[in-house]
Structure 1
């Protein structure tokens, strides 16, 4: 519901991130770039060509619970990554593109070959849907926000905590589980185990400590799998397999004792950890990575401002070869290549290589790459990134290429 205070209208503030936020975090500005603002301002004045509208764009639409800005953009525009233009089409009525609420009605207006999108009909003088006039007063609101997100949270949230790309040295020197109670081989939620961060042999790593300021929460990973460029076969990084989370109860220490010959000796007392979450059963040798700080995440689907091309390196998940819609893939471009969170890329199915059997010389043929869908980058590392497959016409596989969507 929109509430009008005197002459000014106010919509509830965005108090949570579009994805991955939790109640209790303060509202933050969402990442709208200067170029997106300029595009929006221009389109707000002129509209967009009717030819750029989706073939079945409705004349009006009431925003419903469960809608996303991406879905609404697909409804009105042929190219949903042109999200800034959808924002520009309703810039006068919706000041913040992240604040569109269930119950609001959107009207598509067409004039002189141009189209604009507004929350009220032109010339109607009508106030927005479900408006109430009240006197100025102080208003308190919970941080939980009812505005629709850019993408469905459940499509990405599980993968923000799970995948991790590391270099081989970092993973090999990470703290690890060294022992279990009663010699158990497998560990699950509620079990207690023991871990170490230091190594006597090469001096790498540092002891796990429960001192103030030291991390107490850790994610647990196993089997750092090399991720290779499909063309060059160069190892770009290592993907660690997520198995759960643990909490540090006591840090590492040492104790003095005597051996069987009565000689004094120093014993290593490993840190004590409790398993709080187990996606899979843990075991001795699994590695501990400190839980990163919670981020207020938002996603602004958009095309990159520069040309970026690359290939799909892997499909996330054990033994998965092909990816479908809403699955996660790793691509061989990252922050160092200019790839950013929110970049939308077009997927191209790698054309098959075969012999021309109609030619007696049997020359080799390479069929053209065919466009196969869209993906959106949601997490970047230096040379690799995770991306969500937004839409696809055929399954996506390792080696398939991607490029700017325009």
Structure 2
């Protein structure tokens, strides 16, 4: 039976001395660790490193080097060798009685082939292709749901409805509803419009109008909701790294409409690809210091975020580590 695998590239381990000023081992780092089902690369790195997001540095990883992977399976053993001048990691395979040096890298594959991801897949699966940020009016010409044959106002999974013609050969759709405007809290620039994902549909009878079957619904669907071709694909290319430029940004929204975000929650930032962010960028989140006796105290760090989806002016980030809840208008900076 095929085992779930943690996809890692195993070629070598850099000496700790060259990164002694920034990379530190956990004081209780184990001599060996047995990989178990449900592990993530972030979790395993945290067994050995105080800052688990820095594993690409300690393993000498280049973001472009994602070829020729070996695999780590549940039951394999990661060994910390303290006998030399510098600690080393090696991997003792369960299926082969040999030891190889360890250099993790994420293998980008279709989701069904991925095995254990670098971060909890359950935390981001629901957000990879569903949250959208679009310019105003981007859905103006998109097909829209007209209604059902029996004049029902609310539609759900399994219901059939009619929609305007998409003028394409598309048969599979995402059902969307224009959402709130996203503004930069400092400049008041409109950064885009968050689009609400409502479910999926399939064309069962093309035409104008076309007849669609609602195959899944996360919320109530109504006449006027829009259809977008379900053609999005995504690779889980999560290689954590610091920003390439200096970042000073804000949390402008918390997905789900809540006021606070905990671990593995999704937050929206007012920084995007135009600011130098890309998938895997790690940022520290800070709370503004209070004013005491007319003196503003320094901002205090709350935790770490990792960007996993990027648009031009905004991005979605996952709360990875947290000391206290993240709130709207909290600041994000280089870690």
Match of 2:264 among 326, 336, 340: 326
CA change 1:147–1:218 in 2 (3 A) is closer
Residue 96 of structure 1: how far off its partner (Å)? 6.0
Match of 1:149 among 93, 98, 117: 117
Kept in 2: contact 1:73–1:86 (CA 8 A): no
Q: Deviations over 1:23-76 (max 9, x none)?
A: xxxxxxx9x9xxxx9xx9681697754971122211211111111111111111
Q: Does 1:247 align with 2:202?
A: yes
CA change 1:145–1:186 in 2 (3 A) is closer
Q: Corresponding residue for 1:180? A: 148
Equivalenced residues, count? 316
Gaps spanning 5+ residues in structure 2: where?
62-66, 99-110
Q: Does 1:217 align with 2:172?
A: yes
Q: Does 1:339 align with 2:311?
A: no
Q: Corresponding residue for 2:304? A: 374
- The 4+ residue runs of structure 1 with deviation greater than 4 A are 44-48, 95-98, 143-147
Match of 1:401 among 327, 331, 335: 331
Whole-Å separation in 2 of the counterparts to 1:129 and 1:286: 53
Match of 1:208 among 153, 163, 166: 166
Whole-Å separation in 1 of the counterparts to 2:160 and 2:231: 22
Whole-Å separation in 2 of the counterparts to 1:45 and 1:73: 14
Q: TM-score with structure 1 length normalisation? A: 0.70
Whole-Å separation in 1 of the counterparts to 2:131 and 2:317: 12
Q: Corresponding residue for 1:167? A: 135
Gaps spanning 5+ residues in structure 1: where?
2-11, 19-29, 90-94, 121-127, 134-142, 197-206, 254-269, 357-362
What is the RMSD of the two structures over their aligned residues, measured on CA atoms? Answer: 3.1
Whole-Å separation in 2 of the counterparts to 1:57 and 1:157: 31
Kept in 2: contact 1:98–1:147 (CA 8 A): no
Match of 1:131 among 93, 96, 105: 96
Q: Does 1:306 align with 2:245?
A: yes
Residues 225-304 of structure 1 mapped to structure 2, 5 A cutoff: 225-253=180-208, 270-304=209-243
Q: Corresponding residue for 1:80? A: 52
1:158 counterpart SS class: helix
1:375 counterpart SS class: strand
